[in-house]
Structure 1
Amino acid sequence: MTVAEENVLAQESFEVLARHALRVEEAPWLEFVNGKPVSKVRWGGTRGRIIEWLTRLCLRTAPGNWLFAAQGLHVGSCHRGNARPDGVLAPLDTFVGQGEWADPAGVLMVVEVTSYDEDTDRRDRVEKPRAYAETGIPVHLLIDRDTCEVKVHSQADGVRYEQVVTVPYGKTVELPEPVGIELETEPLKNWVR
């Protein structure tokens, strides 16, 4: 084989690997919620901007905490499920050394931003709040881009959240302790279709 042929073969191999890496990068995240495997569309763009906005707000109001983007958690009864919330508010060192799927101890709040895929209603509005309540996560914030509402779930009883406060975008809502942040939702109006 000549040097030119080896270069062509190397280039072709690289292109195959690059295409494969691109597909892996764009592949959905997998979760296992309420006994079922589900896929979650990777986010960027608008959903990423919403998480960035929340991260800045959390950092200003509680500098010892961080809103971790897409940190995998063991969830559900007996922590037999795996979910990847869009955001997980916890003290800075909570997940050090834990890897992709972490113990939810120390988590203060999980954040989900609805996607526009077909199973959003079942997954984001029903299954995940139940799994997070079973896990005992104190606050679950759902930013619902379909209804232009924010839902704050709190007072987990091990089965469900006993308190759910729903406000339309533009209103202020309190994220209860242990979060303790007043959330002005007006900016969310900029990030809907």
Structure 2
Amino acid sequence: MAPEEFERVARALTRAVEGVRPECVKGELGIKPAADGGHGRIVQWLIRICLQHRPELWLSTGQGLRVEAYRKGHARPDGTLAASEAFVGAGEWADPAPVLMVLEITSYDTDTDRRDRVEKPRAYAETGIPVYLLIDRDSCEVKVHSHPDGVRYESVLTVPFGKEITLPEPVGITLDTEPLKNWVR
């Protein structure tokens, strides 16, 4: 699907169907379900931690990014960590160059495996985003993908909820993941 066609379809879909967020990864139009309360609480938790440790950065929610080679894809991460002014004037689909980290939190739907565990890590690595943080509510694990080589992330560190994990540079924040246990089904 051409980027212009996707943007037209995405605008129409967003107006017509409440509670969905359209994306186009690997040329496939996808629908991301609206976040539930636990999902929202995890985002709040991470925003607070980022502000405490890196006040010059902001974890934006809802910012769309152009991903994949030649900007053929569009993704809307659950969170995008960048300098606080990085997306001013960027519009709905921003250049990913200033992004230090993207956040995804698994949804309780059938597409989450393909979307959050396979397609998005590859798309974000191809784009060169330094860190991909996946909060996996199904497996109760935190996965930190880092060192993109233009095709995939060379490093993936996985810890169960309850352990500490350090987000590598350029993020450099250590997360105590114990609270995540409270926000899963």
The verdict on a shared fold, with TM-score over 0.5 as the criterion, is: yes
Which of 1 and 2 has greater Rg?
1
Is 1:117 equivalent to 2:104 in the alignment? Answer: no
Q: Aligned pairs, how many?
A: 172
Q: TM-score, normalised by structure 2?
A: 0.90
Is 1:151 equivalent to 2:147 in the alignment? Answer: no
Is 1:184 equivalent to 2:176 in the alignment? Answer: yes
> Within 1, Cα distance between the matches of 2:50 and 2:16?
31
> Within 1, Cα distance between the matches of 2:82 and 2:72?
21
The range that moved more, 41-50 or 105-114, is 41-50
Structure 1 segments of 4+ aligned residues over 4 angstroms from their partners: none
CA RMSD after TM alignment = 1.4
Question: What is the match of residue 12 of structure 2?
Answer: none
Unpaired runs of 5+ residues, structure 1, are: 1-22
Unpaired runs of 5+ residues, structure 2, are: 1-14
Is 1:166 equivalent to 2:123 in the alignment? Answer: no
- After TM superposition, give the deviation of residue 42 of structure 1 in Å: 1.5
Is 1:95 equivalent to 2:87 in the alignment? Answer: yes
Is 1:126 equivalent to 2:127 in the alignment? Answer: no
- Greater RCO, 1 or 2 (C-alpha within 8 Å, sep 6+): 2
Is 1:42 equivalent to 2:72 in the alignment? Answer: no
> Within 2, Cα distance between the matches of 1:28 and 1:140?
22
- After TM superposition, give the deviation of residue 25 of structure 1 in Å: 6.7
- After TM superposition, give the deviation of residue 27 of structure 1 in Å: 3.5
Q: Tell me the alpha carbon deviations over residues 144-176 of structure 1, each in whole angstroms, 9 at most, x when there is no partner.
A: 000000000000000000000000000001100
Q: TM-score, normalised by structure 1?
A: 0.86
- After TM superposition, give the deviation of residue 79 of structure 1 in Å: 2.1
Is 1:72 equivalent to 2:81 in the alignment? Answer: no
Percent of residue pairs bearing the same amino acid type: 65
Secondary structure in 2 matching 1:26: coil
* Counterpart AA for 1:93: E
